[in-house]
Homo-oligomer: A and B are copies of this chain.
Amino acid sequence: MRQRVEEYISNLQDEIVAALEKVDPNAPAFKRDSWLRAQGGRGLSCVFAVPTPPDGVAPQHTVLEKAGVNISVVHGTLPPPAIKQMRADHSSIPDIQTSVPFFAAGISLVIHPRSPHAPTVHANYRYFEITKEPTDAQREAGQPGDLVAWWFGGGADLTPSYLYEEDAVHFHKTLKAACDAHGADVFPTFKAWCDEYFFIPHRGESRGVGGIFFDDLCAEPHKRLADGAARPKTADEIFAFVRAAGDAFVPSFVPVLERRCRMPSTEHERRWQLLRRGRYVEFNLVYDRGTKFGLVTPGARIESILMSLPETARWEYMSELGTDPESREGKLMEVLKTARAWV
């Protein structure tokens, strides 16, 4: 499974970067930045940014403003406190008192387009293993120790500044079709989980308009999918579902990007977009599990973890934008305050 996941996320990364580059052929290419982790493992970050021109020269106008499509494949040792923290979310991990080997492979992406009419999107699919220490024979053969626990997690979610209902519907329809082929209970369960996960309690609003979110998906009973639920159950079935969700990324998002990215916009719309990006920063730094876990993990690659942050964000005290329910900003706030089903 390790090799299959690694191969899959690597191909998916190529496919997504190629699809994004095709939308804006005159923009600079994504910058490929591969890295090694001292404690074991490697990664490849594909990052989009517009180089800052000399003073007085306007920066190139591009479809994207900042984007990253990263993969990482790492292994090492989890100390008991990290295992304890993980057990809270992952019931399949046994109660272990010693350090244990782990393996993690995943793809993680965040796309912040420049136009206030084009939504930000995030997706992440990951595979995690905990094993026993390898036996001498396994070590000699370059094999990991016997599996103790494994699971998949991931999801994709859409964060518009201005609400175009047809975009939210298209995004959810595409994800739903991918999920439905793997069990009728998958999409509704993971859509609800997404709405719950991306909620910003101190603002009383969601980060975005939804998508899917799941974690701890393995052969064991699942805390959100009932025992009899129509859902993928074996490792092969679950990996097939994750591939279907990952493959749905380009068709779920790129058509939305294409129809919004060249719409003209005003400074007022830009201001609102930057305020919404401020909320994105608040969610990611205060609540996002992956970010929080990354910030406290010694040896974690901070630049990769915080790549999700927008190039620019804005905060205003008691901003009037979004407070009028009849305004376009207010219409977005309404769906952020009360999650909608979309399909």
List the interface of chain A (C-beta within 8 A of B): 33, 45, 47, 49, 52, 55-56, 66, 68, 201-203, 266-268, 271, 274, 278, 281-282, 285-286, 295, 300, 302-303, 305-307, 309-318
Contact = CB atoms under 8 A, between A and B. Distances in A.
10 contacts: A55-B267, A278-B309, A281-B285, A282-B306, A307-B317, A309-B315, A310-B315, A311-B315, A313-B313, A313-B315
Contacts of A282: 285, 306
Contact of A33 (B300, B311, B318): B318
Q: Determine how many copies of this chain the complex contains.
A: 2
Interface centre among A49, A201, A309 (most CB of B within 10 A): A309
A300 B56 CA distance: 44
A interface secondary structure, majority: mixed
Nearest to A302: B202
Contacts of A274: 312
Contacts of A316: 49, 311
A97 to B, nearest CB: 25
Contacts of A52: 268, 271
A313 B316 CA distance: 12
Contact of A318 (B56, B66, B303): B303
B49 A295 contact: no
Contacts of A311: 314-316
A286 B295 contact: yes
Nearest to A270: B55
Given A203-B302, A266-B55, A295-B202, A47 B307 contact: no
Contacts of A317: 45, 47, 49, 66, 68, 303, 307
A27 to B, nearest CB: 16
Nearest to A59: B267
Contacts of A306: 282, 315
Contacts of A56: 267
Nearest to A45: B317
Contacts of A271: 52
A318 B35 CA distance: 12
Contacts of A302: 202-203
Nearest to A283: B285
Contacts of A201: 295
**Closest 7 pairs (CB-CB, A-B):** A285-B285, A309-B315, A202-B295, A55-B267, A47-B317, A55-B266, A307-B317
